[in-house]
């Protein structure tokens, strides 16, 4: 395993894994993009769409987040110099992950609770709760899709260039297999 792992640096592994993460984010945003922007939808349907958006936000941010054993992906690692609009989108996706999707940060919380008297002749109070199920990136889904495609393409091109002129690589890391059979 150590000999085969030496063929790939942790940066290489991070870039390859980032391609999978970007593809997951891209798929989730494309599922979201299939929704009719002009159709009336129920709250249940909006929550379903929110699940796609949240999955996209998490998958997008995974390469840029600390993880055990792998470095954070940087734009430099894949040869990207983002446009200002892309940097702003990247930052918005990070904030959404850090303060809403991955954690409940009170600074980004959208929650309402009110009560009303259920009966005129009794002191029974009923709670009425409203939770945030808004779609933060629905109007920006096309720019998000384009940006993630650009990142995925850059990462893929970087992997392609790194494997040129090197001996055959056979690297497998699969947590479902015993450690000694990971690399074949």
**Tens digits of pLDDT across the chain (184 residues):** 344 445 788 999 999 999 999 999 999 999 999 999 999 999 899 999 999 999 999 999 999 998 888 999 999 999 999 999 999 999 999 999 999 888 888 878 787 889 999 888 888 999 988 887 889 999 999 999 999 999 999 999 999 998 888 888 888 888 888 876 555 4
How far is CA 31 from each of CA 42, 91, 121, 141, 148, rounded to the nearest angstrom?
Answer: 17, 22, 50, 10, 14
In sequence order, what are the residues at sequence separation of 6 or more whose Cβ sits closer than 8 angstroms to the Cβ of residue 50? 133, 134, 135
Taking the model in full, what pTM does it have?
0.84
Pick from 61, 73, 62: which is nearest to 10 by CA? 73
What DSSP designation does 136 have? Answer: S
| 85 token code pair | 């609009």
In sequence order, what are the residues at sequence separation of 6 or more whose Cβ sits closer than 8 angstroms to the Cβ of residue 173? 13, 182, 183
The string over 26-45, giving b where at least 16 C-beta atoms fall within 10 Å of a residue's C-beta and e elsewhere, is bebbebbeebeeeeeeeeee
| 34 token code pair | 């299939």
């Amino acid at each position: 395993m150590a000999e085969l792992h030496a063929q790939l640096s942790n940066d290489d592994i991070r870039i390859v894994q980032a391609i999978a993460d970007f593809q997951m984010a891209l798929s989730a945003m494309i599922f979201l993009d299939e929704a009719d922007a002009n159709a009336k939808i129920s709250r249940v349907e909006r929550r379903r769409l929110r699940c796609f958006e949240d999955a996209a936000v998490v998958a997008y941010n995974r390469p840029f987040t600390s993880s055990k054993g792998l470095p954070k992906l940087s734009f430099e690692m894949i040869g990207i110099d983002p446009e200002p609009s892309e940097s702003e989108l990247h930052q918005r996706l990070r904030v959404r992950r850090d303060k809403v999707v991955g954690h409940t940060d009170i600074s980004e919380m959208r929650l309402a609770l009110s009560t009303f008297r259920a009966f005129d002749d009794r002191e029974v109070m009923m709670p009425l709760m409203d939770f945030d199920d808004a779609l933060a990136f629905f109007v920006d889904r096309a720019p998000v899709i384009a940006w993630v495609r650009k990142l995925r393409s850059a990462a893929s091109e970087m992997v392609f260039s790194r494997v040129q002129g090197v001996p055959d690589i056979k690297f497998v890391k699969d947590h479902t297999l015993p450690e000694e059979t990971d690399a074949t």
